[in-house]
Amino acid sequence: MDIIELSRELGRKIQQEESYVALQEANKAVEADEALQALIGEFNLHKLQLNEKLTAAERDEEAIKELNTKMRTLYADIMANDSMIKLNEAKNTFDGIMQRVFAIVSNSANGEDPNTTDYHACTGSCSTCGGCH
């Protein structure tokens, strides 16, 4: 099997990975969450309005301030939504897996042993560390 076919096989395995499946399910839940979609729509509308205010010949600083405040509130509401929280958690989990995959492939291409190389992220706490590299 050549390297391209092995890459395709890896792609198929990634799509079967539990964290990938969970991410896809979380994406579907976000899309199906009508309350969340309404918040996102309102946020995007305010974003367009803000851009118009920012590029207007005569800037209305009070309106800009109000739109910024409203957008911050909407953003906080969006990020506090249960579906969005689950999506972000699923994304973080999947991203962690992918960082490991990329690190193994990249480090192997740079001559490291594919059986022992891995992704190493410093958390700032030596108690969780496998050693500095």
What pLDDT, on a 0 to 100 scale, did the predictor assign at position 130? 52
Domain limits at 62? 34-99
What pLDDT, on a 0 to 100 scale, did the predictor assign at position 93? 97
113 occurs within a structural domain: no
What pLDDT, on a 0 to 100 scale, did the predictor assign at position 118? 87
Each residue's pLDDT, cut to its tens digit, for the chain (133 residues) gives: 799 999 999 999 999 999 999 999 999 999 999 999 999 999 999 999 999 999 999 999 999 999 999 999 999 999 999 999 999 999 999 999 999 999 999 999 999 999 999 887 656 566 555 555 4
What pLDDT, on a 0 to 100 scale, did the predictor assign at position 1? 75
The pTM is what?
Answer: 0.79
89 occurs within a structural domain: yes
64 occurs within a structural domain: yes
77 occurs within a structural domain: yes
* Alpha carbon distance 131, 120 (integer Å): 8
* Alpha carbon distance 125, 111 (integer Å): 29
Per-residue 3-state assignment (H helix, E strand, C coil) for 63-131: HHHHHHHHHHHHHHHHHHCHHHHHHHHHHHHHHHHHHHHHHHHHHHHCCCCCCCCCCCCCCCCHHHCCC
56 occurs within a structural domain: yes
91 occurs within a structural domain: yes
Total domain count for the chain?
Answer: 1
DSSP for residue 57: S
What long-range pairs does 82-85 form, CB within 8 A, spacing at least 24?
Answer: 83/26, 83/29, 83/30, 83/33, 83/36, 84/30, 84/36
What pLDDT, on a 0 to 100 scale, did the predictor assign at position 133? 46
* Alpha carbon distance 49, 129 (integer Å): 47
* Alpha carbon distance 48, 56 (integer Å): 12
Structure tokens that stand for 73 in this block: 């509130």
41 occurs within a structural domain: yes
